[in-house]
Structure 1
């Protein structure tokens, strides 16, 4: 498997699209290789089925032009930040050897988001420990620790440490979100209503993106928090 520059770790299919699809698109536009690892199939969600969610994730991945996407098959709601799950995620991190990891929000309305965030952070650190032994396809893996771990902001407002201008990629972001037809508002759907199927949910996503964009004098933005201070060599790198 080829090395990735950026690996997005998401608790559920559609988390990455909602939280950081614009940033994914902007990095791919610059020539970087980006992939997504979904921890669960979102099987406990009110609408859709695991099989349908996987199909929708594949379509969204094609829209985003990802270099890789896979699903860990962890149990939705029930997965934990424990040794078993850490070890499995370490194998994936070492397989793709990303320089940057984008993970779920550090806290959010859905408990899996904060839990997935903690799991990703710990696995990224542990992946650099040489005494933790893992293998892929029968071949021993070398330690690998991503240089940076950032967390995309999801439903609950969190003050961002930095904001990415995603204005040129807004329409593609929306297209990738709408690939999950089972999950969002459809007036013809016979399935039960859910938090994200409300007709006001996608307008909320746009409002949040416009708010972050406004903060950096752009039209649309995506906000992130960092686990450590950000450093620059040139003041003119700041916008």
Structure 2
């Protein structure tokens, strides 16, 4: 049934996003059910006013049946969410630019959130050198909200010159860590050839020097030296990642923003660990009981 609905709304990107992602969250389920009932009540009221009380029982019965159908469909959508057998953990994802986190580990983040974990996304610059800063900030918020992140912050360190503010970045990330108390931090790799990405990696390693678990994600600008040794199965979350990246329309002309590129990388990493699709991470250090079941 889901595939039929997906085909029916394939011409609407917002329709796809709503069905694939937003509708699977509790608040959307409740909102859809309440909204549907309000519409039904209004329609029933107009009908009763025009037809008289003789049709009241039939209208109420029809309204109740439709309301139950809406609720059943909503709960069916909710069952798509995987359940985790571990206690909820906190994951802090730190990127240099507004689209970095989605590009590198958007599927993993979506899976973590749907498994009941809490994710906070922190972006160190507004991406003003590579695009329109106000637009990119808004798109970053939309992307984080679409993935389901509980919170999202965009800082204003100078794009392309993050290394010049190393100490300030370390202090800022330390504040984020102190406030959020993450179990795991996700950030850029030291093998990344983009100067901002490398600067953020170094700042996170310094700020998180007392944290037990830090993983480095794979951005489009990593060098051949990037060597993942931890993988997350994201077979059911690649489409979510693609749709989240589409929200960064300011960067849509970049070659690494395409569905083909994103799916190819997921297939490549999946093949390395004998899965359909995966995202790879370098382990700086990792306590296995901290990450739990992805």
Select the structure with the greater relative contact order (CA < 8 A; seq sep ≥ 6). Answer: 1
* Residues 1:55 and 2:120 are matched in the alignment: no
By how many angstroms is 1:113 displaced? 1.0
- The answer for unaligned runs of 5 or more in structure 2 is 1-87
Q: Map Cα deviations across residues 174-223 of structure 1 (whole Å, 9 max, x no partner).
A: 000110011023xxxxxxxxxxx238854223211110011122221111
Distance 1:65 1:113 in 2: 24
| Residues 207 and 146 of structure 1, relative CA distance in 2, 3 Å threshold | same
Question: Does structure 2 retain, via aligned residues, the 8 Å contact 1:4–1:96?
Answer: no
| Residues 36 and 199 of structure 1, relative CA distance in 2, 3 Å threshold | closer
Counterparts of 1:69-218 in structure 2, within 5 Å, are 69-80=152-163, 82-125=166-209, 145-155=210-220, 156=222, 157=224, 158-185=226-253, 197-198=254-255, 202-218=259-275
Distance 2:111 2:245 in 1: 16
| Residues 170 and 198 of structure 1, relative CA distance in 2, 3 Å threshold | closer
- The answer for unaligned runs of 5 or more in structure 1 is 126-144, 186-196
Which entry has the higher C-alpha Rg, 1 or 2?
2
Question: Does structure 1 retain, via aligned residues, the 8 Å contact 2:246–2:257?
Answer: no
By how many angstroms is 1:73 displaced? 1.1
TM-score (norm 2): 0.63
Distance 1:83 1:55 in 2: 27
Q: Which structure shows the higher helix fraction?
A: 2
